[in-house]
Amino acid sequence: MSATIIDGKAFAATIRDKVAGHVARLSEEHGITPGLAVVLVGEDPASQVYVRSKGKQTVEAGMSSYEHKLEEDTSEADLLALIDRLNNDPSVHGILVQLPLPRHIDEDLVINSIDPVKDVDGFHISNVGLLGTGQKSMVPCTPLGCLMMLRAHLGNLSGLDAVVIGRSNIVGKPMAQLLLGDSCTVTIAHSRTRDIADVVRRADIVVAAVGRPEMVPGDWIKPGATVIDVGINRIERDGRNVLVGDVDFASAGKVAGAITPVPGGVGPMTIACLLANTVTACCRVNGLAEPE
């Protein structure tokens, strides 16, 4: 391993400390406590873990956490009615609907029913449009966390070749927009990309958001490149359940200049950015200066 390990866990802890500082100031100077409402429909085990962890970290940062756990067979109308209540609740500054939703519920309809100012996931079509046109928006947490790590490690990203593998609405596309916003030359690779190894080899920055265990081997990586691994894949190895990313950490770590581990890379940054977005939403709605 010659690459620098980008320690997302430690970085996320510094963001959470900053968030806690802002929250304390909002309370002391303005008597306001930011509040985050998380809505979970159904029993998906991974979603339950995420929601628990979000709630815990929200409270640890000094904010109010409101968890709404709904039955799997909750109707779309009931879910929309809950979101309407949260939109109109002044103690709620951020609303997150945990995805995926059960199949009988229209995910786009639900996401677009959230007040865009409270849309701390940044998935509302207004926020997508604002980000795409370079305007002030709510930025999706996972790509935001990746961008923060890239800026911290590389400084100015201007002119660098970046390849994002994956074109989902929640990671790949907003990641590409953010890198473009920082003046990278951006390529988005996906399942139909030809000669993907050659495409990736040109990149100074590789962001892998695919969901395929260890798909990116070291010989796809340009020597010295910075590799951000968004993938979270649970596999069995040597009779044990382990988490691995979309990048083959062992071989890529020998070639890359820097790389995020899985776990301990992008994952912790995502929740830290969610907390930061909630504070931002709270400041915006109250006409206060936003944290940087």
Could you say whether residue 201 binds ligand NDP (CB under 6 A)?
A: no
Could you say whether residue 22 binds ligand NDP (CB under 6 A)?
A: no
Could you say whether residue 216 binds ligand NDP (CB under 6 A)?
A: no
Neighbour count for residue 223 (Cβ, 10 Å): 11
Helix (H, G, I), strand (E, B) or coil at 156: coil
> Per DSSP, what are the bridge partners of residue 40?
69
- Residues within window 247-276 making contact with ligand NDP, judged by CB under 6 A: 266-267, 270
> Per DSSP, what are the bridge partners of residue 64?
35
Could you say whether residue 149 binds ligand NDP (CB under 6 A)?
A: no
Helix (H, G, I), strand (E, B) or coil at 270: helix
Query: What would the x/- binding string for ligand NDP be over residues 180 to 199, using CB under 6 A?
Result: ---------xxxxx--x---
Torsion angle of alpha carbons 59, 53, 122, 119, nearest 10°?
A: -40
Check the annotation: does 232 bind a ligand.
yes
Could you say whether residue 51 binds ligand NDP (CB under 6 A)?
A: no
Residues 39 and 46 sit within 8 Å (Cβ to Cβ): no
Check the annotation: does 167 bind a ligand.
yes
Could you say whether residue 103 binds ligand NDP (CB under 6 A)?
A: no
- Location of structure tokens 């490149």: 225
Rounded Cα gap, residues 194 and 88, in angstroms: 48
Active-site residue flag, 135: no
Bridge pairing between strands 233-237 and 205-208: unpaired
Could you say whether residue 144 binds ligand NDP (CB under 6 A)?
A: no
Could you say whether residue 233 binds ligand NDP (CB under 6 A)?
A: yes
Could you say whether residue 240 binds ligand NDP (CB under 6 A)?
A: no
Active-site residue flag, 54: yes
CB of 193 to ligand NDP, least distance (A): 6
Q: Which residue is nearest to ligand NDP (CB)?
A: 168
Check the annotation: does 228 bind a ligand.
no
Rounded Cα gap, residues 69 and 134, in angstroms: 35
Tell me which of 119, 121, 229, 248 is the catalytic residue: 121
Q: Which is nearer to ligand NDP, 201 or 212 (CB)?
A: 212
Residues 285 and 117 sit within 8 Å (Cβ to Cβ): yes
Check the annotation: does 166 bind a ligand.
yes
CB of 171 to ligand NDP, least distance (A): 4
Residues 230 and 172 sit within 8 Å (Cβ to Cβ): no
Residues 233 and 217 sit within 8 Å (Cβ to Cβ): no
CB of 288 to ligand NDP, least distance (A): 28
Could you say whether residue 167 binds ligand NDP (CB under 6 A)?
A: yes
Rounded Cα gap, residues 146 and 262, in angstroms: 13
Torsion angle of alpha carbons 175, 176, 181, 182, nearest 10°?
A: 80
Instruction: Compute how many residues bind ligand NDP; rule: CB under 6 A.
Output: 25
Name the residues that contact ligand NDP, by CB under 6 A.
Answer: 142, 165-168, 170-172, 189-193, 196, 209-212, 230-233, 266-267, 270
Residues marked as catalytic: 54, 98, 121
Task: List, as residue ranges, the binding site for NADP(+).
Answer: 166-168, 232
